[in-house]
Structure 1
Amino acid sequence: MGVSQPYREAWEGYWSATSDAPGEAIWDADPSLSAVPHSALLLPYADTSLPVVDLGCGNGTQTRWLAGRFAGALGVDLSHAAIAHARRADPEGVAAYEQLDLADGDAVRALAGRIGDTNVYMRAVIHQSDPEARPAVAAAVATLLGTRGRAFVAELTPASKAVLQQAAQGPQGPPPKLRRVFEHGLKPAGATDEEVPEVLRAAGLATLDSGDTVLPQTERLPDGTRIDLPARWFVLAPG
């Protein structure tokens, strides 16, 4: 199937207009705030002799950290421009990167056939996907796990919308990094509370552990408060 053309163009446009500066993307948090605590939740369940695939890797900040915890790391993203960012940021080739449409089942199955069972890290992809593509994204996680892989998935909850609306209503309007998200037509926190666990279940994934968290952003409110978006995390296994 694949994602819609407007969705693809929105992400390509966003990453094409983004500089290589760390933290330029609002979600490009330091690994100490993302991959490090998330891995602490995943590692008790995961076989680290398997590689890990970072789905929606963007510029690869988390992928590069994950490469030191697993047998290898591959970052994939819908956007060719994002993959170009990731490769420029990793001249030593700590991880590998390639373009992939998670809603394209044939492409996902081809990747799974190449790399075998793998662990998966996915941060904030389902909630901003087009509604019709969300089941395919969850199915991609299940396909890549095979029988031995384990996944960490974190997704924004609808409560994040209120935080973003508050941030956008400052005297100067949305802060610059958030304004760019809106200008490129990206739609954060689009899934309901029930939808994310349901699409994961429907994809045949079993929840081993879950909880509430926040996803720290690289943007701050006018008073200096960091924008932290409410989220829910899941550690998943093949059902």
Structure 2
Amino acid sequence: MSASERYARAWEGYWAESKGEPGEPFWDADATLTAAPHTELFAPHVDRTLPVVDLGCGNGTQTRYLAGHFPRAVGVDLSASAVAHARRADRDAVAEFEQLDLADLVGVRRLGDRLGEANVYMRAVLHQSDPADRAPVAAAVALVLGRRGRGFVVEPTAAAKAVLQQVADGPDGPPERLRQVRKHRLRPAEVAPGELPALLGGAGLAILDQGETGLAMSQRHPDGTRVALPAQWFVVAAAGGSRPGG
């Protein structure tokens, strides 16, 4: 079995055992703490008349928020069980969800052909991707954007590893959310300094804006404060692409 196949099975195993409820996964913080502030960072660069695609949507928490800010929101995920959870949770049918392996660029291109140019939201996907799949995942962002779309990409930095270790070393040991992550071997990969800009540039993407942030998790520390992972964010576009409205 290839590394990519193990990766896909690990995610499907995780979501198949999950109830898919908001806040159940370690990373599934409420959209007011995640997609909402990210959308504010994204807003100056984006054409709101285009659809938005949530790459690696999981149970759809962030996709449903994005659906209120774009004319069409589509969430895609590697795991069929994650997509099923997302559809069940979308009681008002505000978004669309489908299974898609982001490393399958033929499938990604088909999605782009159906939607036309679109914006992209991608939260903490590259660092969890198998190293061999990171360049194709970055290329998937470019394929969905086309010339007019803009992408918001946010990923934990290497410093996140110390925060995760602190959570695991709590007085009662790793919390259940983190135990489930470890059980299914969904280990966050360490991202080397400069790796993310290199991946984005290698996919033909230009960085329009960037910064640092704390990526909110659903888990809290024993003192009640929310776990937040040090992260980098980037707003990207096709190199040489037109400006919104241009």
| Count of matched residue pairs | 238
- 1:20-72 Cα deviation digits (max 9, x unpaired): 32200111111111111000011111111100000000010110110111110
Q: Which amino acid aligns with 1:180?
A: Q
1:151 paired to 2:151? yes
Using the alignment, how far apart are the partners of 1:20 and 1:124 within structure 2? 18
> Percent identical across equivalent pairs?
60
Q: Which amino acid aligns with 1:133?
A: D
Secondary structure of the 1:191 match is coil
Deviation at 1:189, TM superposition (A): 4.0
Using the alignment, how far apart are the partners of 1:160 and 1:183 within structure 2? 19
Deviation at 1:141, TM superposition (A): 0.1
Is there any run of 5+ residues in structure 1 with no aligned partner, and where? Answer: none
TM-score by length of 1: 0.97
Backbone CA RMSD of aligned residues: 1.2
2:234 equivalent in structure 1: 234
Deviation at 1:226, TM superposition (A): 1.5
Deviation at 1:224, TM superposition (A): 2.0
Deviation at 1:172, TM superposition (A): 2.0
Using the alignment, how far apart are the partners of 2:189 and 2:214 within structure 1? 13
Using the alignment, how far apart are the partners of 1:60 and 1:15 within structure 2? 12
2:162 equivalent in structure 1: 162
Secondary structure of the 2:126 match is coil
1:114 equivalent in structure 2: 114
Confirm or deny: 8 A CA contact 2:20 2:82 kept in the other structure: no
Q: Which amino acid aligns with 1:197?
A: P
TM-score by length of 2: 0.94
Confirm or deny: 8 A CA contact 2:21 2:59 kept in the other structure: no
Confirm or deny: 8 A CA contact 2:102 2:108 kept in the other structure: yes
- What are the within-5 Å matches in structure 2 for residues 96-111 of structure 1? 96-111=96-111
Deviation at 1:18, TM superposition (A): 1.1
Deviation at 1:19, TM superposition (A): 1.3
Deviation at 1:3, TM superposition (A): 7.2
Confirm or deny: 8 A CA contact 1:50 1:70 kept in the other structure: yes
2:93 equivalent in structure 1: 93
1:199 paired to 2:199? yes
2:243 equivalent in structure 1: none
2:177 equivalent in structure 1: 177
Deviation at 1:203, TM superposition (A): 0.3
Q: Which amino acid aligns with 1:175?
A: P
1:23 equivalent in structure 2: 23
Q: Which amino acid aligns with 1:91?
A: R
Closer/same/farther in 2, CA of residues 101 and 219 from structure 1, 3 Å limit: same
Is there any run of 5+ residues in structure 2 with no aligned partner, and where? Answer: 240-246
Q: Which amino acid aligns with 1:24?
A: E
1:4 equivalent in structure 2: 4
Using the alignment, how far apart are the partners of 2:6 and 2:155 within structure 1? 22
Deviation at 1:170, TM superposition (A): 1.7
Q: Which amino acid aligns with 2:28?
A: D
Q: Which amino acid aligns with 1:186?
A: L
1:133 equivalent in structure 2: 133
1:48 equivalent in structure 2: 48
Using the alignment, how far apart are the partners of 2:102 and 2:75 within structure 1? 12
Using the alignment, how far apart are the partners of 1:3 and 1:58 within structure 2? 20
- 1:124-160 Cα deviation digits (max 9, x unpaired): 0001111010000000000000010000000010000
Using the alignment, how far apart are the partners of 1:43 and 1:37 within structure 2? 10
Confirm or deny: 8 A CA contact 1:128 1:191 kept in the other structure: no
